[in-house]
Amino acid sequence: MTHAELVKRLLAEQDLKYRDFHASLLPNIDKKTIIGVRVPTMRKIAKEFVGSAVKESAKGSAKSMPKDVANFLDKLPHKYFEENQVHLFAVERIKEFDECLYRIEQFLPYIDNWAVCDGKSPKALLKDEARFYAKICEWLKSTKPYTVRFGVNMLMNFFLDERFSKEHLKLVAAIDENLFDDKGRAKCPTDRYYVQMVIAWYMATALAKQWDATFPYIKNRKLSLWIHAKSIQKACESYRITDEQKKILRGLK
């Protein structure tokens, strides 16, 4: 499947009602660049795209990137929102650490919305946890909002269970501090809102999974007022937080 055939396939799956709905959730994206394809369908197309390319290159090196896939990943920026989604869905299927990391870093500067940034799990990066974590620390310090958001997502997806460290909470809280000046005014462009949201999402998830380590950040009000309140809201909406914990959190609004 070539790049052109991939786009044709996406266009064939267009759902205009879904396009209109999804566009309302992405106010910073030109609606004309959204085709209107549902996520499960995009994942299926990405699997077909990568799978067919692998089959076609079976006679070559097992570790080489299939030509059609490589051409698509290299051709940046893409025109459509769905191409960006398929791009990362394809990268998720890369099994070699170095190739996966290279392709993610190649693409991060082109992410311009939360939907492309979220919901991705490049498991190949766990093959070298130390290097993966070092890269996350770099991403969290980026000046690009969606690179930072991607880094927080990686901490949330892969480092909140057996890989968790209290240091991760400090890193995320430091992002929050850097968003504001000493008078509490935002120091960032509009897209920084989406960084604030992912910090709150991370903190709420951390409360559910690592309550003892995370709760002091709420109890001692170590976050900005907005993120403090949003973290509590998201935590109280979670079924993983007990009723007693929710009662405590509501008392700290």
Is position 117 within any domain?
A: no
Q: What is the mean pLDDT of residues 65-87?
A: 93
117: left (phi over 0), alpha (psi -120 to 50) or beta: alpha
Beta-carbon contacts of residue 55 (< 8 Å; ≥ 6 apart): none
Q: Do 88 and 138 reside in the same domain of the chain?
A: no
pLDDT digits over 183-216, tens only? 545 555 567 789 999 999 999 999 999 999 999 9
Q: What is the mean pLDDT of residues 80-89?
A: 96
Q: How confident is the model at residue 121 (pLDDT cuts 50, 70, 90)?
A: very high
Residue 129 near residue 154, CB atoms below 8 Å: no
- Rg, Å, the chain Cα set: 20
Please say which residue of 51, 74, 93 terminates a domain.
93
Please say which residue of 73, 93, 113 terminates a domain.
93
Q: Do 186 and 240 reside in the same domain of the chain?
A: yes
Q: Which residues pair with 56 in a beta bridge?
A: none
Phi, psi of 180, rounded to the nearest 5 degrees = -130, 150
For the entire predicted model, the pTM comes to 0.90
Q: Do 88 and 146 reside in the same domain of the chain?
A: no
Domain that includes residue 54, residue range: 1-93
Preceding amide of 216 cis, omega within 30: no
Q: How confident is the model at residue 79 (pLDDT cuts 50, 70, 90)?
A: very high
- Tell me how far apart the alpha carbons of residues 22 and 37 are, in angstroms, rounded to a whole number: 9
Q: Which of 237, 168, 176 is nearest to 208 (CA)?
A: 237
- Tell me how far apart the alpha carbons of residues 199 and 152 are, in angstroms, rounded to a whole number: 7
pLDDT at 180 over 60: no
Q: Do 89 and 192 reside in the same domain of the chain?
A: no
Q: Do 156 and 210 reside in the same domain of the chain?
A: yes
Beta-carbon contacts of residue 212 (< 8 Å; ≥ 6 apart): none
Is position 253 within any domain?
A: yes
Q: Do 141 and 252 reside in the same domain of the chain?
A: yes
Structural domains of the chain, count: 2
Please say which residue of 76, 93, 110 terminates a domain.
93
Using a pLDDT cut of 70, give the percent of the chain over it.
89
Beta-carbon contacts of residue 59 (< 8 Å; ≥ 6 apart): none
- Count of residues for the chain? 253
The first and second tokens of residue 183, run together, are 């008078």
Q: Do 78 and 202 reside in the same domain of the chain?
A: no
Q: Quick one: pLDDT at residue 51? A: 75
Q: Do 148 and 229 reside in the same domain of the chain?
A: yes
CA 133 from chain centre, in angstroms, equals 15
What is residue 65's three-state secondary structure?
A: coil
